[in-house]
């Protein structure tokens, strides 16, 4: 720390939700007021409060990607402050691993850390010990809370209760229960009946488009809207495999009887699933013969389509995907990676989608890995260090921590390569 005449103090505040932030005096203000009072009590040591505000309203401690925290850390690197003051240590982080990285950064730039309500700082070994103990309990509390929430959701779904999320087409929510919306339910019945007749998702999509049937329009909290567009493979595949229409509730790989009324009869639903399984087996055989699972889907990072090629060495056949410009003698136009081993990239994509299936309702239906890839992957872009997989997804599918929603109704999955 610097001399007592010039100890610059930065106050960091955080709350997990934005509820109540519109109030004239909110939780962030209360944290700041207590921290300012503490700094004033140390005025005899030369402590001075900086004017910069480092307030994160509505951000969880589980992520370090918080605007004000990142601004604070940048100012630490630029040596613009000497002490960081928080009301409680868990305002900064509840993760031991995250805190260890912060302490390493603070030590490297001779910055101390002070908790007002817990009366310690990191300038002493005892302060560090106390902090590590408190962080251990904070992390434990966070993990226990998460387990309780998951257990509550699981127990509620076992009872057939609707636990929130985007409401399936054909239903609306009243008093936290799914209630049939007859206008939309008629569209759902029509979709199942048409698929039972046509036995083809592309043919079904063309028929729905000709009849002017679109996805549901949903209003966002921002005031904008999504949906109201023609159906594509992802939304249709999700809808046709959704057991909610049988009156069931899905919980990961388990199914429980729901409290809501079914829209589709068991006979029609089972007939549709049998057609889907039959189509899946047919597709699997076709792609196994060609051996190019990602044909027509994979591109290099310069935007060039990558086509299946193979080479033989010692009687062994090796498959690749390579940028089509190589065959035109235009290697300069190829991306950072112009050729990749086909089997390896196919396995990486299939395993990644399987791993995140429960986080992507659009790919939670029946079918083999080949069917899932062909029905739900819109595009694979090969970068030097990662694969970016764009997934066809239902407009009713919410974004999550791994997948981020895009304007063209796809979600992207970044895979280290």
Mean pLDDT of 205-220: 88
Average confidence score pLDDT of the chain: 78
Nearest to 72 by CA among 6, 113, 12: 12
pLDDT of residue 414: 58
Mean pLDDT of 305-323: 88
Question: Is the alpha carbon torsion for 374, 376, 380, 385 positive or negative?
Answer: negative
167-174: long-range pairs with CB below 8 Å, 24+? 167/396, 168/239, 168/242, 168/244, 168/245, 168/396, 169/215, 169/216, 169/239, 169/396, 170/245, 170/263, 171/244, 171/260, 171/263
pLDDT of residue 361: 47
pLDDT of residue 365: 46
**pLDDT higher than 70, residue 385:** yes
pLDDT of residue 119: 65
Give whichever of 16-30, 237-251, 294-308 has the largest mean pLDDT. 294-308
pLDDT of residue 108: 87
Q: How confident is the model at residue 377 (pLDDT cuts 50, 70, 90)?
A: confident
Q: How confident is the model at residue 221 (pLDDT cuts 50, 70, 90)?
A: low
Q: How confident is the model at residue 224 (pLDDT cuts 50, 70, 90)?
A: confident
Distance of CA 125 to the CA centre of its chain: 39
**pLDDT higher than 90, residue 223:** no
Mean pLDDT of 73-93: 89
Mean pLDDT of 184-192: 94
Contact between 360 and 393 (Cβ < 8 Å): yes
Contact between 105 and 24 (Cβ < 8 Å): no
Distance of CA 3 to the CA centre of its chain: 47
**Range from 29-33, 179-183, 387-391 carrying the lowest mean pLDDT:** 387-391
- Which domains are delineated in the chain? 7-154 (3.40.50.1390), 171-286 (3.90.1750.20), 288-416 (no CATH)
Higher pLDDT, 96 or 374: 374
Taking the C-alpha atoms of residue 191 and residue 242, their distance in angstroms, rounded to an integer, is 13
Nearest to 197 by CA among 189, 54, 97: 189
Q: Which residues of 340-379 are buried (b: 16+ CB within 10 A; e: fewer)?
A: bebeebbebbbebbeebbebbbbbbbebebbbbbbbbbbb
Higher pLDDT, 154 or 287: 154
pLDDT of residue 118: 72
Nearest to 71 by CA among 58, 82, 80: 80
């Amino acid at each position: 720390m610097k001399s007592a005449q010039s100890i610059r103090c930065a106050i960091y505040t955080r709350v997990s939700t934005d509820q109540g932030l519109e109030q004239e005096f909110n939780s962030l203000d209360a944290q700041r007021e207590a921290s300012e009072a503490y700094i004033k009590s140390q005025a005899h040591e030369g402590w001075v409060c900086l004017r910069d505000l480092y307030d994160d309203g509505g951000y969880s401690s589980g992520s370090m990607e918080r605007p004000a925290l990142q601004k604070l850390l940048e100012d630490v690197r630029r040596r613009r402050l000497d002490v960081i003051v928080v009301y409680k240590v868990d305002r900064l982080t509840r993760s031991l691993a995250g805190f260890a990285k912060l302490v390493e950064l603070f030590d490297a730039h001779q910055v101390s850390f002070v908790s007002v309500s817990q009366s310690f700082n990191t300038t002493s070994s005892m302060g560090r010990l106390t902090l590590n103990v408190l962080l251990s309990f904070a992390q434990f509390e966070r993990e226990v809370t998460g387990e309780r929430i998951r257990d509550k959701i699981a127990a509620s779904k076992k009872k057939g209760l609707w636990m929130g999320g985007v409401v399936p087409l054909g239903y609306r929510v009243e008093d936290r229960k799914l209630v049939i919306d007859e206008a939309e339910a008629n569209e759902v019945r029509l979709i199942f009946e048409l698929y039972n007749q046509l036995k083809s998702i592309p043919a079904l999509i063309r028929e729905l488009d000709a009849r002017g049937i679109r996805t549901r329009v949903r209003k966002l909290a921002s005031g904008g809207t999504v949906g109201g567009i023609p159906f594509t493979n992802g939304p249709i595949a999700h809808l046709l495999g959704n057991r909610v229409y049988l009156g069931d509730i899905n919980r990961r790989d388990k199914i429980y009887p729901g409290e809501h009324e079914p829209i589709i009869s068991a006979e029609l639903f089972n007939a549709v699933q049998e057609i889907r399984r039959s189509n899946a087996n047919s597709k699997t055989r076709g792609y196994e013969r060609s051996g190019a699972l990602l044909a027509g889907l994979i591109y290099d990072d310069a935007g060039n389509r990558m086509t299946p090629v193979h080479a033989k060495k010692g009687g062994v056949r090796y498959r690749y995907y390579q940028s089509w410009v190589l065959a035109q003698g235009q290697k300069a136009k190829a991306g950072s990676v112009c050729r990749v081993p086909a089997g390896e990239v196919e396995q990486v994509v299939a395993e990644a989608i399987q791993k995140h299936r429960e986080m992507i309702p659009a790919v939670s239906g029946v079918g083999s890995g080949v069917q899932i890839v062909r029905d739900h992957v819109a595009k694979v872009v090969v970068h030097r260090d990662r694969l970016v997989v764009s997934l066809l997804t239902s407009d009713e599918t919410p974004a999550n921590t791994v997948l981020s929603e895009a304007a063209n109704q796809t979600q992207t999955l970044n895979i280290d390569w």
